[in-house]
Amino acid sequence: MTEHNAPAAGGASIAATPPGSTTSRGRSVLLFLRDVLVIVVAALVISFLIKTFLIRSFYIPSESMQDTLLVNDRIIVNQLVPDVVEIERGDVVVFRDPGGWLPALPETPQAPLAAAGDWVLSLIGLSASDSDEHLVKRVIGLPGDRIVCCNDLGQLSINGVPLDEPYVLLPAGTTDVAGQDFQEDVPEGTLWVMGDNRYDSSDSRFNGVVPIADVVGRAFVISWPIDRWQWIDSYPIVFDGVERAE
């Protein structure tokens, strides 16, 4: 007599879990997590390389470049300047303090977690915690240039060519673009830089020239706040008539 298995209660059949299915699902989760980790690490490495060799962010801590740059504007800097791309007159450059330009700032202790977070963000260019160690000015004179100020119209001249500088912010009723007379020859390997807010800028008039080796890069765009987003003009037309010094 043939034996038959009794059906499960209620007529429902019971399907056995295929062997190894749990292991397969666990392996899929691990592969997914591995892929996510690879993507995150790759993004961090790419961001680090971009920040190190191509572009990085700085914020503006002072009023010396008004109205071109305002306090707390965030700018993006092209770090291919000057090693790959030459500096031109009119470029707005970021440079390390050559010494004595910035006052000594007291160290402000950070909580360990905040310091670690800032360090990570700085690696990928999202933090600009060292902005207070850098300066932002406009390049006026290149190596070999003779800078003279000011003529009867209050203009600054380069190699005998007077400039009409639309980017300069002057006090009401003032036409003299420097506030003082001077004549300087720019040595090789250095730049003569000035702030656009000429009457509120400690620049080459007071601190001397800037070694090109100290230049971090050229600022080319205001990235923040959103309503300030714009390209930073180098005003090449201002310097069109100025010949390169020999």
Instruction: Return the active site residues.
Output: 64, 137
DSSP of 179-211: SS-EEEEPPTTEEEEE-SBGGG---HHHH--EE
Interatomic CA distance for residues 181 and 108, integer angstroms: 40
Under a CB-based contact definition with an 8 Å cutoff, are residues 59 and 128 in contact?
A: yes
- Provide the token pair at 178: 């420097």
Nearby residues of 208 by Cβ (< 8 Å), 6 or more positions away: 98
DSSP state of 71: T
Residue with tokens 């970021």: 94
Q: What is the C-alpha R_g of the chain?
A: 30
Nearby residues of 39 by Cβ (< 8 Å), 6 or more positions away: none
SS3 217: strand
Amino acid occupying residue 173:
G
